[in-house]
Amino acid sequence: MSLWDKAWPGGSIRLGLPNGAAPLDGSGRMPVAYLPLEALETSELRTENFDVPPGIINDVDTRNGGFTGTLPAEKREGQRFFFNDFAGTWGTNNFIIDGNGSLFGDGGTRLVCNTPACFWVFVGAEGVLNVR
């Protein structure tokens, strides 16, 4: 299911984790964000390694095996990168986000997505990658 299929009344998308999924940051809180549809240019179906552009929804389909999305080397504070487990298969075929030199909040340069989810990564202060 695409994020476009999860549009809420008023022209926004509710991003969050499915029932029973653990938050990626280990906080125990369920991260949720509402984004206006017009803030997103389009969506792209991804089925193999790809370079991640900012500002679009990446519908990541790992039914045929896991792969990696690589963020740009040059990132600006405030940029957002959106990901959706298109087929609900990240639990068996992991999707990996390569920070391309930038660190995620846990200090790693790669994020292994192994729980079905819809989430976004944004570039914070000093280039730290934050997951919501």
Tell me, what CATH number does 60's domain have?
2.60.120.640
Span 77-92, pLDDT tens digits: 888 888 989 999 999 9
DSSP labels, 1-67: --GGGGEETTTEEEEEPPTTPPPTTSSSS--EEEEEGGG---EEEE-S-EEPPTTSEEEE--TT--E
| Model pLDDT, residue 5 | 40
Span 60-76, pLDDT tens digits: 999 999 999 999 999 88
pTM, full prediction: 0.69
CA–CA separation, 6 and 57 (whole Å): 12
Q: What is the mean pLDDT of each run of 10 residues along the chain (132 residues)?
A: 40 46 51 50 89 90 96 88 90 93 87 82 80 77
Q: Is 5 helix (H, G, I), strand (E, B) or coil?
A: helix
Range of the domain at 91: 3-131
How many domains does the chain fold into? Answer: 1
Look up residue 113 and give its two tokens: 């997505």
Q: Which H helix or E strand runs over 9? A: none
